[in-house]
Structure formats: structure tokens, C-alpha cells
Amino acid sequence: MSICSNVLRIREGIASACAKAGRPEQDVSLVAVSKSRTAEEINEVVSAGVLDIGESYAQELMGKIGHINSEARMHFIGRLQSNKARQVVGRAVLLQSVDRLSLAQEISRLAQARDLVQPILLQVGFGEASKGGVSFAQTNELACQIAALPAVKLIGLMSIPPISADISRLISGFERLYHQFVDIMHRKYDNTDIHVLSMGMSSDYREAIACGSTMIRVGTALFG
């Protein structure tokens, strides 16, 4: 199937999942995961109406950004090393994978030097170390510490579940993350605007939407 056809199919899947959950389709935004994809493929997705593009590697983002349709909104969704933060701060509209205070501090330092405020998500782990993420137990404390930084704005949470997770574990993790998201939202930390819950990918976005996701990240189902 073509990329355009895949976009329509995913949009229909989002609409169906939202309808089952009693939510408006507009509640959920779609990020195209473009790791290892060419600029031409990304531009095809953008032309099909998917403007949010998620890159996993700083070097790939930098190499593609000048060749991608200017309408695209670049997100950084991979594990970010502090020494690579300078490549993505101010170039990505959202850094989704912030999982430690030292990284948030470096992002804030760079953003302040560039006279901007960088929106970020706090990545919460499902318990698999290779995927990264702060533990559920530490999430509130880290959110509070990040809220005190001058040039970042925490706008929500993100998670990447283990590929091997069965459906019951997935749903349990999604539900737990949603409750954490609501809890942090209600705490109303200064300098935050909690409204994004980024969870769900090609194989599990329907379950994520049922559990309250507001942003899904889809690669294989879009690009093939």
C-alpha cells in the first residue's frame, strides 16, 4: 500500500479507537516515526497531512531537516545524550525523551543561551532499562525539579513499552501512566502545561488511545 493509503488507514484506526473510548478524534495527534526513512518518504507523509515527524537520532534529524517540507514539525523521540542536546534544542518542537535531571538542566542551559523555551516530555519507563525512562516512583519528584528550570517547559509524559510485553501488561502500563499523567496535571507545578500523553505505537495505538493517550507514534504502519 502507498504511504497515503497507510495514513488514511491509521486515521481511520484513530477515529475508531476514539469512538470506542467515547473521545473526539481531535484528542489524539499522530507522529510519524521516521527513523531510517528518507527525506522523500517523510515529505510524502507530510503531503498526506501528517506534519509531526519523530526522529530517534540527533545526527539523522540534523541531516534531514534541511531537506524536509518546512511545514513539518520535528520531534525528538530517541534516547538523548546530554552532549547531543545542542543538536536538537530549538530545532525540535518537542523533546519527548527527557528522563533525568542532568539532561533537563543541559537542555535548559542551551535553550536559555539561544533565548528560547524548549517544550519537553518526561519519559517514564515500563521497567526495561534499554528503553530508558524514569521510574513511576520518581516521576513526580523529577517533574517538580524540572518545573524549576528557567528555559524548559514540561508539557506531559511519554513512554516506550517493551516489544515483548503481552497485551495485559501493556494495558496495565498504559493505565498506570495515564493515572500518573492526571496526577501531575492536578499538581499544577509552576512553569508546566501538562496536556500531552505520548504512548502507543503501530501495534498498540488502539489500546493506548483506550487508556487515554493524546499522542501516538507510528512508523511501520505508515511507511511499511
The C-alpha cell of 176 is what? 498506570
What's the pLDDT at 147?
96
Fold of 3-223: TIM Barrel (3.20.20)
The predicted model scores a pTM of 0.95
Cα dist from 6 to 2, 185, 221, whole Å: 6, 34, 7
What's residue 162's pLDDT? 79
Query: How many CA atoms lie within 13 Å of 34's alpha carbon, on the beta-carbon side?
Result: 34
Q: Which three cell numbers stand for residue 119?
A: 517544550
Report pLDDT for 127: 67
CA distances 59 to 63, 64, 76, 131, Å, are: 6, 9, 11, 19
**C-alpha separations of 90 from 64, 87, 166 in Å:** 15, 8, 37
Per-residue pLDDT of the chain (224 residues; tens, 9 = 90+): 799 999 999 999 999 999 999 999 999 999 999 999 999 999 999 999 999 999 999 999 999 999 999 999 999 999 999 999 999 999 999 999 999 999 999 999 999 999 999 999 999 998 665 567 999 999 999 999 999 999 999 999 999 987 766 888 899 999 999 999 999 999 999 999 999 999 999 999 999 999 999 999 999 999 98
Nearest to 211 by CA among 16, 18, 11: 18
* 8 A C-beta contact, residue 217 and residue 172: no
